[in-house]
Amino acid sequence: MLIPHLGGGGAEHVVALLARDLSREKYELHLGLITQTGIGAESIPSGIYIHALGSSRVRAGAFKLLQLVRRVKPDVILSGMFHLNFLVLFLRPLFPRGTRVLVRQNGTVSAALAFGSLPVYSRMLYRLLYRLADRVICQTPAMAEDLAGQLHLDENRLVVLPNPVDVDAIRDEAAKAPDLWTGAGPHLLAVGRLSREKGFDLLLRALAALHVQNPHADLVIAGAGPEEAALKAQCIELGLETCVRFVGHVDSPFAYFPGASAFVLASRHEGLPNALLEAAAGGLPLVALPASQGVVDLLRDQPGAWLATEISSDALASSLLAALESLAPGQRFDHRFIEQFRIDRAILAYEELVDAVLMDAQRKERRH
């Protein structure tokens, strides 16, 4: 399993959960960390081999990654981030014969390309390199359909697997956590990397509009990223500096679940963010922009979920207002859709995929 580093965003978190819970009896598990230089013992899942390659950035790790693959000789490689996927697939012809490659797509390709957050050559790389994967793992059927249409991939190479969510652990941790909020509220929580596609600027403008009717509303933003300085400046510009807290990257945002009035997803485009699923596991009311068809399909007509009509601060403010007007203090929801993402079900689905790929490889070897 390959990721840039531990403690990153949702994609890294998913692979870390897989590393923790995939069967040690069936597989010898190795976790390659391309840009990580060292690890504390407490970060290492029991019974897994850790390889911290210490490269300055993902693409600079090509030689070290190739050395690692040639030394370990894995039957299957699972890569968990699109830019790392490109590197793995580019190097694939140099891997030991018989190495199978699975790549996990963590965003909707059409939206990412249209939004302009990717270099102009990304579409070409997607089309040339993703054809070399044995399977491309998508988070939702809508993402798989988008990928097939955008890249003209063989649909037999696409598979939809649920994101693993440790529902019971989230609920246990949230139940034990103290209330970290102060003031009358309502209290809003948002989690994610501080980058433009996450839409925190839209959320701040929505909060400013919400203050007209809810002057005591406040917001905690958990995450770090390149937009932090701009967002803090925007808070000052909007007069929100006393009611918005930037708490940085937190390993367990569930600590902010007690006392939170609602979780807000303000992304301009997303696949199916783990932060949203984890908030659902914690029972929080959900207010979201229609960041992808996957998000829309998940939340449409669901109790305890308010889905905005469009990607805009005005639409988000309207949805926030509607939610807060109807919610009782501390109200929580079952969000039964979260059951499909329970970690045991997700782990089983990933193991079935790995086993199927290995069996397919064995059949091909016998034919040759």
Residues 297/270, Cβ–Cβ less than 8 Å: no
Does 56 share its domain with 93? yes
Same domain (yes/no): 33, 155: yes
Q: What is the pLDDT along the chain (368 residues), one digit of tens a residue?
A: 999 988 777 788 888 889 889 999 999 999 999 998 776 545 566 789 999 999 999 999 999 999 999 999 999 999 988 889 999 999 999 999 999 999 999 878 787 777 756 677 777 888 899 999 999 999 999 999 988 888 888 888 999 999 999 999 999 999 999 999 999 999 999 999 999 999 999 999 999 999 999 999 999 999 999 999 999 999 999 999 999 999 998 888 999 999 999 999 999 988 899 999 999 999 999 999 999 999 999 999 999 999 999 999 999 999 999 999 999 999 999 999 999 999 999 999 999 999 999 998 788 777 76
Question: In this structure, are 199 and 336 located in the same domain?
Answer: yes
287 and 353 in a single domain? The answer is no
Say how far apart CA 317 and CA 206 lie, in whole Å: 4
Q: Quick one: which of 211, 192, 171, 214 has its CA closest to 288?
A: 192
Q: What whole-number distance in Å separates Cα of residue 291 and Cα of residue 296? A: 8
Same domain, 135 and 227: no
How many separate domains does the chain show? Answer: 2
Q: Do 326 and 355 lie in a common domain?
A: no
Q: What is the pLDDT of residue 276?
A: 96
CATH of the domain at 312: 3.40.50.2000
Q: Are residues 158 and 245 in the same domain?
A: no
pTM for the model: 0.91
Regarding whether 352 and 218 lie in a shared domain, the answer is: no
Do 348 and 335 share a structural domain?
A: no
DSSP secondary structure of 195-219: SGGG-HHHHHHHHHHHTTT-TT-EE
Say whether both 7 and 151 belong to one domain.
yes
The beta strands (E) that lie in 34-177 are given as 49-52, 76-79, 100-104, 135-138, 158-160
Tokens of 117: 């957050």
By residue range, what is the domain housing residue 185?
167-341
Q: Do 290 and 349 fall into the same domain? A: no
The two tokens of residue 165 are 């969510």
